[in-house]
A and B are shown apart, each in its own frame.
Chain A
Amino acid sequence: MMIRFNFLDWVWLGLYLTLMTGCGLLFYRLGKRSEADFFLAGRGLPWWIPGISVYATHTATDTPMWVSGVIYKYGLRGLWYSFFSAWCAVAAFVSARIFRRSLAYSQAEWQSLRYGGLGGELLRGWMSGWGTFLNMFILGWVSMAMGKLCNYLFGWDNWVGLVIPSIIVAIYVLSAGYWGVVMADFQQGIIAFFIIVFASLWGVKAAGGPAGIITKLNTLGESWRLNPFHFSGFFGGDFPLAWFLTMIFIAVLGGFGMGTSIDWYAEAQRIQSSRTVRDAAYSIWWGTALTLTRNSFWAAAIIAFFVLYPHITDAQQYEMAWYRIAFEQIPAGLAGFLFAGIIAIHFSTISTHLNLGAVYLTRDIYHHYINPEASERRLVMAGRVATAILLLGSFIYGLMMEEITRWLIFALWIMGAGMWLPNILQVIWWRFNSWGYLSAWIANLGFSWLVVWILPAFGVIPELPDYLQFWALMVLTALVYIPVTLLTPPENKFHLAKYYAMTRPIGWWKPIKQEALRLGLIKEGGGR
């Protein structure tokens, strides 16, 4: 597939690029005032700005590819793969509020507020290093997707789409920091949402409208594709009920924790940049509602693509379903408009992770450990240097992404499975301590290699489906960190009482509440 742009298309594109970078640059004077401005927009945003940013950040150029993959393969059941983000609906009223009250810049900083002493510091240091890597990796991942997409659409070499857009984004992220990111996200998110809806509905129309699509599916004998609850048995088949129940469990209970999903870290920055606790809750709730709405428009267009091209078996081909139906069906003269939407989708994700990775390097590594006395000017300077380091790291990971994706997805997956429960326990149970959390990390690392690769390779256990791996890793790591937690002393009670008074967590915190009352940090019967 090759797109040829005419003069009008290039004009569209030029105007959009100017608008998008200009929108970020406008906030240069606000972003350079202080560390809090460069990373949190001074914690002064009304909910609808970070809300749109949550949505824009979680829409990347590879997102329609994987949504196309699952919808083309599983029909509307594939929508459940994107339902994991429903944890935000719970987190909005639980962990988002707790995190906003803690005033932590990053999850790493929160760790040192929740856990004290050496253990808390070790967790903060480890997590800020891991967060720096993780953002480089995500940047490399989405840049590579953009490189491939530009190759697919225009025939450019992969490196063009990988490097050039990131450099354009870096202009406003370096100068205006999070102010630039969130304001550019705001208009990019709105533009992208309307273009996604427009192109998707246009695709549905091209396939004969809803009635025409249903008729064609019946003729093909594929009408099961419209049933999102078409399970293949409890454990058997390609879409078992056990997978669905595990997904709902992870999604709903995950909202009680922090870090239960890889998306948490980007959400945490948006939560903390909100003006009030209530704004924080609304922003993450509405941002996720927009994300789930976006998925349903995509799904309709991908089902339309299926009735037009029902016999594609190669996953690499049908993953391009949404892009193909959008570009093939859009009226002439609007291809540049559609590509501007794709640029908006891409920019908003790149900008977020450039700035978020720089939070860990600046706030946690530089400000907390290296130079605690640094002036605001120096901190903004450090923020810019950190952003440039993230940009370089993204190119390194982007260029080798082809080769290592499987390994690093594994590294991320192990972050998810065994650490899911500790990430919840640390929010809702006062007795869980830093040594429990650290031992969970280490145990999880060992067990996941064993369960996923080593034991199946030696035939000790069969190769398990992903949802059974999740349960196995959850139980195995708990057998390590629960004893470690109970055999090591709890965190310092004064430290915990300060944390309690500040964040008012939910769950099992009674002894700490009594301590906070005794110290006079909170009053009996005092509301939130």
Chain B
Amino acid sequence: MNRGLFVVLGLTIAYGVSFLGLLLAYFSYRRRKGGR
């Protein structure tokens, strides 16, 4: 594994996990709103 790959992997996990949390919040909010 080389350095560039590590940097991409490290930053992808960091922002990827955060963004997944954001998407989860968005769709769950929409679903709940729709349900009421």
Contacts and interface: CB of A to CB of B under 8 A. Distances in A.
Contact of B21 (A365, A396, A403): A365
A224 interface: no
B21 A128 contact: yes
A400 B2 CA distance: 10
A357 to B, nearest CB: 11
A75 B19 CA distance: 43
A133 B17 contact: yes
B22 A122 contact: yes
A125 B17 contact: no
Contact of A124 (B3, B20, B23, B25): B25
A407 B28 contact: no
B8 to A, nearest CB: 9
Contacts of B13: 133, 136, 393, 396-397
Interface in A396-455: 396-397, 400, 403-404, 407-408, 411
A130 interface: yes
Contacts of B18: 126-127, 129-130, 133
B29 A126 contact: no
A8 interface: no
Contacts of B26: 118, 121-122, 125
Contacts of B25: 121-122, 124-126, 369
Contacts of B22: 122, 125-126, 129
Interface residues of B, number: 21
B23 A403 contact: no
- Is chain B's binding surface mostly helix, strand, loop or mixed? helix
Nearest to B9: A400
Contact of B14 (A118, A122, A127, A137): A137
A243 to B, nearest CB: 28
A407 B10 contact: yes
A407 B25 CA distance: 28
A364 B13 CA distance: 18
B34 to A, nearest CB: 13
B21 A400 contact: no
B33 to A, nearest CB: 8
Contacts of B21: 125-130, 132, 364-365
Interface string A360-378: 0000110001100000000
B16 to A, nearest CB: 8
Contacts, number: 75
B30 to A, nearest CB: 8
Nearest to B28: A369
A403 B2 CA distance: 9
Interface string A83-121: 000000000000000000000000000000000001001
A400 B10 contact: yes
B27 to A, nearest CB: 9
A43 to B, nearest CB: 25
Interface string A248-275: 0000000000000000000000000000
Interface string A493-522: 000000000000000000000000000000
Contacts of B29: 118, 121-122
B17 A400 contact: no
Residue with the greatest number of chain B CB neighbours at <10 A, chosen from A129, A132, A370: A129
A476 to B, nearest CB: 21
Contacts of A136: 13
Contact of B23 (A125, A393, A400, A411): A125
- Nearest 10 A/B pairs, CB to CB: A125-B25, A129-B21, A129-B18, A125-B21, A400-B6, A403-B6, A130-B18, A129-B17, A404-B10, A126-B22
11 contacts: A118-B29, A121-B28, A125-B26, A127-B21, A128-B21, A133-B17, A133-B18, A365-B21, A369-B28, A404-B6, A411-B14
Given A133-B14, A407-B10, 20 more contacts: A121-B26, A122-B22, A125-B24, A125-B28, A128-B21, A129-B22, A130-B21, A133-B18, A136-B13, A369-B24, A369-B28, A393-B13, A400-B1, A400-B9, A403-B7, A404-B7, A407-B11, A408-B11, A408-B14, A411-B14
Interface of B: 1, 3, 6-7, 9-11, 13-14, 17-26, 28-29
